Amino acid sequence: MVTCNAITLDMSIFGFSIILGFLFILIRYLFAEVANDERGKMEAKYLTGELILSIIIVLFMAAILNHATSQTDNNNVFIALVNNVSSSVSSSSQQNLASFGTSQSGSLTCKALAYLKNMSANAMDLYKANLWAAMVAGQLSTFTYSINAAIAFTEYISINLNDLRPMGYLGKNLEKEFSSQASNILNVAVLPLISQFYILMLFVNNELLKLFPLIILFRVIPVFKGFANVLFSVIVSFVIVMPLIIYAESFIFKLDNLNVNSITEYTDNLNAFSIVLNKPVKEAVEISKGVISQSWPLGSESNPLTLYLEDVYFKVDKDNKVFKFRDKALIKYDELMKKNARVIVAAAFLSAINIIALVVSIRSLQLLFGDTTENLFEMFMRWV
């Protein structure tokens, strides 16, 4: 459950901004009058027009913000718009379009947050599944133990059996592959989704939105005009455009909840990876110890390596594309890779569309205000 409160814009701050804005213009005019500065008086008049325009635009947009963040479900015009388009698309293509992860009742922003949270949680589960698979493969890939040989041979101090690989090089490869899949999921899916979730959370709260009415004041103070335009563009883009796009995306980009048994038959809990090979490893060590103290190196048949390696129950099941251990699927390779691909493609697409939409939205709103300063995002990109 995403706790998501309705936003109520503080009207007293609007009044405060408007009064301070008028005071600033009055002082500007009085100074110009005293100094007999005709240009200054003209500027004060121009600023008055600017203030009135700002009041209209900001109040108008505040009403829209209020609506988007407080009205729920089909009472919210944005949600109704997306629902309407989706139902039209569904019936035109005979495919059922349903929103993913936004079943709880809420405003536009709440639905967007719920969707991002669900997507992040599913991506995180898959990240964990890959780490689990990497740990299992890693555990299978290398086995090293030392034994104090002094018991059997007085000349030797110790014997170390290094780098024995019951799964051969395969375990190492799988370990590397699953680790890199896990970090890809982390970098491309989990972190971008969580970042978007928190950025949205940051903008959709009463404290930050207290800045919104101040735009009226900032726009009449010449040094703050550019800042006010950026602030307006950023807030509108994050509070309306981004949630709108994300809610629409919830009809397209969906992830199944991860069922652990679709990845492995060995556990229901991806934290419990260590039990998988304990028994045979233990057995191998015990057998080797016993054998080595009795007969090595006299009888090559009793080589501990031979005994250990033959005691491995790992199999490659080519037909089902799974790796088996004692006839149960240890890692369902194909299934896991498909799930990885799905989450990465969905998250990458979703994030790319969101970034493009945000950039163009912020830029266009700035331009609409006649602000010709360079786009902040482009500057940021160049800086990165």
Site for another protein, residues 160 to 179, rule: CB under 8 A: 160-173, 176-177
Pick 11 or 345: Cβ nearer another protein: 345
Pick 164 or 221: Cβ nearer another protein: 164
Please, what is the minimum distance in Å from the beta carbon of residue 384 to another protein?
6
Site for another protein in 334-373 (CB under 8 A): 334, 337-338, 340-342, 344-346, 348-349, 352-353, 355-357, 359-361, 363-365, 368
Site for another protein in 252-291 (CB under 8 A): 252-253
Please, what is the minimum distance in Å from the beta carbon of residue 375 to another protein?
10
Q: What is the distance between the alpha carbons of residues 184 and 167, in angstroms, rounded to a whole number? A: 25
Site for another protein in 95-114 (CB under 8 A): 95, 97
Classify strands 328-331 and 314-317 as parallel, antiparallel or unpaired.
unpaired
Q: For residue 373, what is the DSSP state? A: S
Site for another protein in 297-316 (CB under 8 A): 297, 300-301, 303, 305-306, 309-310, 312, 314-316
Among 156, 198, 202, 259, binds another protein (CB under 8 A): 156
Long-range (24+ apart) CB contacts under 8 A made by 270-273 are: 270/125, 270/128, 270/129, 270/131, 270/132, 271/132, 273/132, 273/135, 273/136, 273/139
What b-and-e string marks burial along 105-143, b requiring 16 or more CB atoms within 10 Å of the CB?
ebbbbbbbbbbbbbbbbbbbbbbbbbbbbbbbbbbbbeb
Q: Which two tokens stand for residue 137?
A: 């493969």
Pick 128 or 172: Cβ nearer another protein: 172
Q: Are 332 and 322 in contact (CB under 8 A)?
A: yes
User: How far from 11 is each of 18, 202, 213, 235, CA to CA, in Å?
Assistant: 11, 21, 8, 17
Pick 193 or 241: Cβ nearer another protein: 241
Pick 4 or 347: Cβ nearer another protein: 347
Pick 224 or 314: Cβ nearer another protein: 314
The SS3 call for residue 365 is helix
The SS3 call for residue 369 is coil
* Per-residue contact string for residues 33-62; x = within reach of another protein by CB under 8 A: --------------------x--x------
Please, what is the minimum distance in Å from the beta carbon of residue 146 to another protein?
9
* Neighbouring residues of 235: CB distance < 8 A, sequence distance ≥ 6: 65, 203, 209, 211, 212
Among 153, 278, 294, 374, binds another protein (CB under 8 A): 153
